[in-house]
Each structure stands twice: as structure tokens, then as C-alpha cells.
Amino acid sequence: MVLRAKKKSSSNSVSRSLGKRELGKMYRNMLRIRQFEEKTDELFMGGRIKGAVHVSIGQEACSVGVCSALNQNDAILTTHRGHGHSIAKGTRLKEMMAEMLGKSTGLCKARGGSMHIADISKGHYGAHSIVGANMPMAAGMGLAYQLEGKGRVAVVFFGDGASNQGSFHESMNLCAIWKLPVIFFCENNHYAVSFHVERSTSVSDISVRAQGYNAPGITVDGMDVVSVYEATVQAVERARRGEGPTLIEAKTYRFFGHSRGDPQFGPYRTKEEVDEWRKRDPLLLTEKLLSLTKAQKKIHLDAVKKEMKEALKFAESSPEATLESALEDVFA
């Protein structure tokens, strides 16, 4: 059976598990991701970022909702669309922006770029651009954490498209039979490049696939950071108790194209469809939950803009990574 997240609220808290202060922090973090990605997109379109860029604008409630339920030494593994997950897990904007711009001060000394960023100090074990490749890695990390016995968990982010890869099914099965502390978090943004989920996927709720592996599956509103957070808290508790994996599917939407080579609307979707989803922008929904006034919103925005300005200044004034440095830190 698919579990659906319940809406919980009381007068002085946003939900049973979340006060306004914590939600305010989540809002700030979603805003940081939005601002970072808007700037990244602008820099890419201006030819300042090499390679490919996939922004997650519209999906911020997923990254922030999940990472807010984790400890720093819990792990995440992410995808080609991973900026939000990195920032939500605690990666600093300065080194991240430097990485985008190919600078020597970048988080991975410019070897990762947008699609292959990692920040082990924050428990971020990499963005992986091969669709579905991060799931067997998460199973391996889950096994390591089980053997270690310190209660750490690994969360693997993936898309609706990736849920059709064999690696998803193999990894779910292995995690289930060995009761590994792994959370499979599927961001169902309804498209794999231009291919609608209904054309690629045999079920309408991807979470039902957990049944095939005797694990719990839950579908949540991926535009609502509280629902994502609460589902993740439950999955984390279960994993720490040694009861094995959970599959969480968050129904969400990317407001921009697949990558910046892809026009925002069509030919595979309409402007009307995008506009409809934009009405449920996770930032707007959270502003409502917090009853933010115009002045309060401005305080958040000014603080984030200041941080972004500093990050950009740091990145732009850093030296370019040299060709010779590409051979540093390699094992063979």
C-alpha cells in the first residue's frame, strides 16, 4: 500500500515535528539554492561556465526537506541535478561557485564542475551523472554503515527516469534483504529529458515499487518542504533502528528545461503546464506557512543576495585551475 503523508498543523507550530524557527531556516536554505541556481544559469548562458548545467529550480523543497532531517555525518549521493542537494547538505556557496567557474579554489579544484561535485566533509559523496549509477554506491555505503554500527544513514537522490534503471531494482532488493540503512529518494519531476513519466513508467506512484522489495514506500507532495521533511524523518528513524530501506517518492516539477540546451517550454510541455506548477512554487508555499510579511521576505532575500555576492566575488577573483593540476590527487 502507498502511504500518503498526512497534513499536520497546530496554531503555534507548522507541524508536530517542526516549529516556525526550523521552517524559517529551511525557507532561507531554499532561497539560497534558488538564488545560486539563477545565477549559475545566467553565467552558463553567458558562456562563463563550461560543460553542462542542470538546475533544480522548482524542486528545492526536496533537497532541503531531506537534508534537514540528516546529521552531517549521514551521507547523500546525488545526480546531474545536484546543486540543491549540495547546498542543502551544507556546502558553502563560495567554493561551489568557484567550482562552477573552473577555479583552483573550487570545491573539487575544478575537476567536478556542475555535474560531478562532491564535498566529503559535509557527507556529500558526489553528484553522479550516469543515471542510476549512484544507487549501488548507496547500497555499498549502507553496508559500510551497518558494519560500522554508528547509526549513520545514506540517502540517494534520483529521478523518475532513473527509477526504470536496473540499478534501482537491484539496489532496493539488496538493501531490503540485508536491512541496510539507505533511503531511496525519488524526485518525480514528471520528465526524463523530454519523456513524460506516464510514457516511461509502469506505475503512477513510483513508491508502490517498494512493495516488490518488502519495504515501505511513501508518496509525498514534493513542493511542500514539511511533507518531505516528515517523511524523511520517519525513514531515517527506521534506518537507524536497523529496519532497512524506505522508498520516498516526491511529486515535484522542474520550472526550467532539462538542461540549458533545452527550451523552457515545449515541444514536450506547454507554458500553461509550467504556469500551473509555478502556482505551487515551494518558496511561495513556505512563505504562506510562515505568514511572511513583505519586510520579512526582504530580510531573507537581502541576506541571501549578500552571501551570493560574496561567493561570486570569491570565485571571480580566484585563479583559473591549471591544466597541470588535473594530474594531482590521482591514484594511478
Ligand X SMILES: Cc1ncc(C[n+]2csc(CCOP(=O)(O)OP(=O)(O)O)c2C)c(N)n1
Q: Least separation, in Å, of the C-beta of 197 and Mg ion? A: 7
Determine, following the binding rule CB under 6 A, whether residue 311 of this chain makes contact with ligand X: no
Written as nine digits, the cell of 168 is 534501482
Residue 167 main-chain phi, psi, to 5 deg = -60, -30
Determine, following the binding rule CB under 6 A, whether residue 37 of this chain makes contact with ligand X: no
Determine, following the binding rule CB under 6 A, whether residue 138 of this chain makes contact with ligand X: no
Q: Which single residue is written with the C-alpha cell 541576506?
A: 303
40 binds, among Mg ion, ligand X, none (CB under 5 to 8 A by kind): none
With beta carbons less than 8 A apart as the criterion, state whether 250 and 220 touch: yes
Contact stretch for ligand X (CB under 6 A) within 24-32, 91-99, 158-166, 322-330: 158-166
Go through 160-176 and write b for each residue having 16 or more CB atoms within 10 A of its CB, e for each that does not: bbbbbbebbbebbbbbb
**Distance separating alpha carbons of residues 23 and 287, to the nearest angstrom:** 10
Tell me the helix, strand and coil percentages in the chain, rounded to 5. 45, 10, 40
Determine, following the binding rule CB under 6 A, whether residue 84 of this chain makes contact with ligand X: no
81 binds, among Mg ion, ligand X, none (CB under 5 to 8 A by kind): ligand X
Instruction: State the residue number with the nearest CB to ligand X.
Output: 159
Show the binding pattern over residues 161-200: x = contacts Mg ion (CB under 5 A), - = does not. Answer: ----------------------------x--x--------
Determine, following the binding rule CB under 5 A, whether residue 132 of this chain makes contact with Mg ion: no
**Distance separating alpha carbons of residues 244 and 42, to the nearest angstrom:** 42
Show the binding pattern over residues 246-285: x = contacts ligand X (CB under 6 A), - = does not. Answer: ------------x---------------------------
Going from the C-alpha of 115 to that of each of 108, 130, 248, the distances in angstroms are: 11, 10, 23
**Distance separating alpha carbons of residues 7 and 286, to the nearest angstrom:** 14
Which one among 159, 216, 217, 244 touches Mg ion, defined by CB under 5 A?
159
Which one among 68, 114, 129, 318 touches ligand X, defined by CB under 6 A?
129
- Which residues are at the interface with Mg ion (CB under 5 A)? 159-160, 189, 192
| Interaction site with ligand X (CB under 6 A) | 79-81, 129-131, 159-162, 189, 191-193, 258
